[in-house]
Amino acid sequence: MYVAVKGGERAIDNAHRWLEDERRGDRKVTDLSVDQIKTQLSLSIAKVMAEGSLFDPELASLAIKQARGDLIEAIFLIRAYRTTLPRFGVGQPINTDKMIAKRRISATFKDIPGGQLLGPTFDYTHRLLDFKLLADGSIDEFEPGKDTEQMFQHVTQFLNNEGIIETEETSSSEAESPDLTRQPLEIPANRALRLQALTRSDEGFLLGMAYSTQRGFGRNHPFVGELRIGLISVEFEIPEIGFNIEIAEIEISECETVNQFLGSKTHPPKFTRGYGFVFGQSERKAISMALVDRALRWKELGEVSDGAPAQDEEFVLYHGDNIQATGFVEHIKLPHYVDFQAELELIRKIRKTAFEAKKG
Partner 1 sequence: MSNSEEDFNFAYLDEQTKRMIRRALIKAICIPGYQVPFASREMPMPYGWGTGGVQVTAACLQETDVLKVIDQGSDDTTNAVSIRKFFERVAGVKTTENTGKASVIQTRHRIPEQVLSEDQILVYQVPIPEPLRFLEPRETETRVMHALEEYGLMHVKLYEDISINGEISTAYAYPVKVNDRYIMDPSPTPKFDNPKMNFCPAIQLFGAGREQRIYAVPPYTKVISLDFEDYPFEASRAEKTCEICGATNTYLDEVVIDDKGTRMFSCSDSDYCNSQKS
CA 186 to chain centre: 20
Rounded Cα distance, 93 and 234, in Å:
8
* Least Å from the CB of residue 315 to partner 1: 9
280: region left, alpha or beta (phi > 0 left; psi from -120 to 50 alpha): left
* Closest to partner 1 by CB, 62 or 229: 62
Spatial CA neighbour of 226 closest among 120, 124, 101, 126:
101
Spatial CA neighbour of 220 closest among 306, 156, 317, 157:
306
Long-range contacts of 17-26 (CB under 8 A, 24+ apart): 22/68, 23/66, 23/68
Rounded Cα distance, 230 and 120, in Å:
11
* Closest to partner 1 by CB, 72 or 250: 72
* Least Å from the CB of residue 324 to partner 1: 5
Rounded Cα distance, 41 and 126, in Å:
20
* Closest to partner 1 by CB, 259 or 311: 311
* Closest to partner 1 by CB, 135 or 334: 334
* Closest to partner 1 by CB, 7 or 163: 7
* Closest to partner 1 by CB, 52 or 218: 52
Angle at 54 between CA 230 and CA 75, to 5 degrees: 110
* Closest to partner 1 by CB, 188 or 269: 188
Q: Where are the alpha helices (DSSP H) in 124-271?
A: 132-135, 155-161, 191-199, 203-214
DSSP state of 117: B
Q: Where are the alpha helices (DSSP H) in 56-131?
A: 57-66, 71-82
* Closest to partner 1 by CB, 4 or 248: 4
> What is the C-alpha radius of gyration for the chain, rounded to an integer number of angstroms?
25
* Closest to partner 1 by CB, 8 or 144: 8
* Least Å from the CB of residue 147 to partner 1: 41
Question: Is residue 193 a contact partner of residue 314, using CB atoms and an 8 Å limit?
Answer: no
Alpha-carbon distances, residue 266 vs 47, 212, 262, 298 (angstroms): 45, 33, 12, 20
What does the binding site for partner 1 look like in residue numbers (CB under 8 A)?
Answer: 2-9, 11-12, 76, 79-80, 82-84, 86, 181-188, 314, 318, 323-324, 326-331, 334-339, 341-346, 349-350, 353-354
* Least Å from the CB of residue 339 to partner 1: 4
* Closest to partner 1 by CB, 127 or 331: 331
* Least Å from the CB of residue 5 to partner 1: 7
Contacts of 185 (CB under 8 A, 6+ apart): 193, 197, 317, 318
* Least Å from the CB of residue 105 to partner 1: 36
Spatial CA neighbour of 93 closest among 263, 214, 234:
234
